[in-house]
Structure 1
């Protein structure tokens, strides 16, 4: 039986785990054995178990954060430097960890989800490989900005960290006995790439020239149940937000004043007990807050708008239900997703920490019958609805061919 190793080394949360599980299910159906090297092993094991997968899950090497979260992430070099790439010695250790996993499991194919360090480590391995994931994981060359220049001011027009990050990468590659790279673009270049989505929701769809898209798939992010809506009048609005986001109470107070009915899941921050979370959150008759995940697919179909942090998974799940998205982004990746929604006329949004008093009116604008966003979201669902019948078929077939299992 041929083995496929899926590498997840950067990023957090269910968006990564659910996407990997969705792909793994397709690969196992073709008779392939899958080993997942996961940044969050416990989370990945839980998702795999709930989906009845037979895969093996192992711990991926994890680089510790080396920059304060308060440092602005304007360029991809900033992203790498904040994720451990400022320390060549630590990077050498991580590369060695990935190479040890490749040697131990001897995969016939290596598939990268979001794993820049694994991409570097695989430069010394003679194994077929490919990448899959959102457009953010595989930016076009030259590396684009993560925050538009007009939002950062003239003081950060130059990518000052590029040379620093490149020097660190090449020091680590040299120490690992691997060939240096000419530019940071190589860190995000695994070879063939399948972008899990569509051009409309690609973070860089407006500048990417040769994207290979799998088509969007609702990955059943939260297999919970549908919930009852609050009584009263007004449009139905569902949402997923992080209870640990700074200022969440202020945002909820603003939503309480909106003439609409909300069902919101708030995921607790690590270590916070549910009862403590419930005590600190403002309540109202028109906003129902649940600490348990609900079925996004079902609730989005019943809603006129979906409010979230513009993560790619939740965004696609809502659009596949024909519902526009209002994004409250927490970091540049999500901000770029909001930009893509606006360009495609599929939603709106703002930076979470800058959420002003007009967010209620902007959310309501998306819910109105005949709004451009509602119509385009329905068109999106009609256009791509067939993708749910065979999730990531082209990607799975491509991996199987490389493994000789097709």
Structure 2
């Protein structure tokens, strides 16, 4: 049995873990154990359900906790600046902490989801590595790296300059084989894109198959829909109440009285109408999406894939850069719609349009659902596990 270390450094929410859990279980079925170095050590144990833990041990990942980038990010190199790739001295110490963790855990290889410093540490330690994730967190190792905001003109030539310089400095400090750029760092780890083309802004990946969502989280409780008049459309909402879009959405839904299940970790600052039921914990998203007329979403990666799989048209309310990239792809393919403005009237107009039987987004969503009707998540996860084992030199 080989021991591997799964790594997660950047990003929030359960989606990052949901992509690694199937990989860990597939590797475990082959006799290999995985430890998890997590950005958040509290959340993972809540995701196993009644089954065995996906990871043998959960430890804290070394993280950059100082200043964050406060300017527009045009490239992946700027995104990982928030992980320490803006400071030579800082990243040297983060990599040193990863190397210490490697000495304690003694993995024969690592795999990471949005964990660039762990990949650099694996390069220094001469450990084989793999990376998995969405098109945003697991981009192709191309040069120059593609813009992640192609709709905005930015200083393309200098996008990755700081991260490239910091990577070279870390390699020199630890006397590791030189990596000259973000692209070369990404090329050290075999990619596994746990997504579908509908949310990928690239022109088609040649470095990895599309593995899809793979069902990484345990089943949760079924949605408890509020009572409503017959024929009223059910609305499923996955959006934190603290987001700026939440208050006008509450207002628009209250006017219509449509039965709504709203998942948010924190309560609403005001009073919710009886037609909106707040759930703090995740619900069975497959059942919620099947029973709902439409999905109102912050356009997280994992939930977007779930909506595609179950044929749910989406009202798109992106709240982060990664979510914005997903929203633009879904809207361009006719699978979702965003309101003209973040006001109750504009959001209400979008709700009415999407709830209509003849909404073009409804037909497009049904087409995608049919495309993935035969998607076999356990079989796909097993295939990914075998290929990852090969990439990590376990076969």
- The answer to whether the superposition gives a TM-score over 0.5 is yes
Q: Which residue of 2 aligns with 1:146?
A: 148
Shift of 1:28: 1.5
Distance across 2 between alignment mates of 1:323 and 1:100: 46
User: Mind listing any 5+ residue stretches in structure 1 that lack a counterpart?
Assistant: 269-276
Structure 1 stretch 134-143 or stretch 47-56: which is displaced more?
A: 47-56
Tell me if the contact between 1:240 and 1:266 (Cα under 8 Å) persists in the aligned partners.
Answer: yes
Tell me if the contact between 2:124 and 2:171 (Cα under 8 Å) persists in the aligned partners.
Answer: no
Q: Which residue of 1 aligns with 2:107?
A: 107
Pairing of 1:50-89 with structure 2 (within 5 A)? 51-53=51-53, 55-67=56-68, 70-89=70-89
Distance across 2 between alignment mates of 1:47 and 1:10: 19
Q: Which residue of 2 aligns with 1:242?
A: 240
Shift of 1:159: 5.3
Tell me if the contact between 1:309 and 1:329 (Cα under 8 Å) persists in the aligned partners.
Answer: yes
Q: Which residue of 1 aligns with 2:335?
A: 346
Q: Which residue, 365, 385, 388 being the options, matches 2:353?
A: 365
Tell me if the contact between 1:219 and 1:317 (Cα under 8 Å) persists in the aligned partners.
Answer: no
Shift of 1:133: 1.0
Shift of 1:92: 0.5
User: Mind listing any 5+ residue stretches in structure 2 that lack a counterpart?
Assistant: none
Tell me if the contact between 2:213 and 2:302 (Cα under 8 Å) persists in the aligned partners.
Answer: no
Shift of 1:311: 0.7
Shift of 1:301: 0.5
Q: 1:25/1:349 Cα in 2 relative to 1: closer, same or farther (>3 Å)?
A: farther
Shift of 1:375: 2.6
For residues 167-208 of structure 1, the C-alpha deviation after alignment (integer angstroms, 9 at most, x for no partner) is: 223223322222332222234334321100221222x24354
Q: 1:348/1:186 Cα in 2 relative to 1: closer, same or farther (>3 Å)?
A: farther
Distance across 2 between alignment mates of 1:373 and 1:34: 41
Tell me if the contact between 1:109 and 1:402 (Cα under 8 Å) persists in the aligned partners.
Answer: no
TM-score normalized by the length of structure 1: 0.86
Shift of 1:404: 6.5
Tell me if the contact between 2:113 and 2:138 (Cα under 8 Å) persists in the aligned partners.
Answer: no
Q: Which residue, 311, 319, 324 being the options, matches 1:322?
A: 311
Q: Which residue, 209, 214, 218 being the options, matches 1:212?
A: 209
Distance across 2 between alignment mates of 1:306 and 1:222: 19
Distance across 2 between alignment mates of 1:185 and 1:166: 9
Pairing of 1:5-404 with structure 2 (within 5 A)? 5-48=5-48, 51-53=51-53, 55-67=56-68, 70-140=70-140, 141=142, 142-149=144-151, 152=152, 156-158=154-156, 160-202=158-200, 204-206=201-203, 208-220=205-217, 223-232=220-229, 233-246=231-244, 248-258=246-256, 260-268=258-266, 277-278=267-268, 280-349=269-338, 355-356=342-343, 357-385=345-373, 386-402=375-391
Tell me if the contact between 1:3 and 1:403 (Cα under 8 Å) persists in the aligned partners.
Answer: no
Q: 1:315/1:175 Cα in 2 relative to 1: closer, same or farther (>3 Å)?
A: same
For residues 236-260 of structure 1, the C-alpha deviation after alignment (integer angstroms, 9 at most, x for no partner) is: 2101111232453233223333464
TM-score normalized by the length of structure 2: 0.88
Q: 1:246/1:95 Cα in 2 relative to 1: closer, same or farther (>3 Å)?
A: same
Query: What SS is found at the alignment partner of 2:136?
Result: helix
Compute the RMSD of aligned alpha carbons: 2.6
Shift of 1:38: 1.2
Distance across 2 between alignment mates of 1:391 and 1:51: 20
Shift of 1:319: 1.9
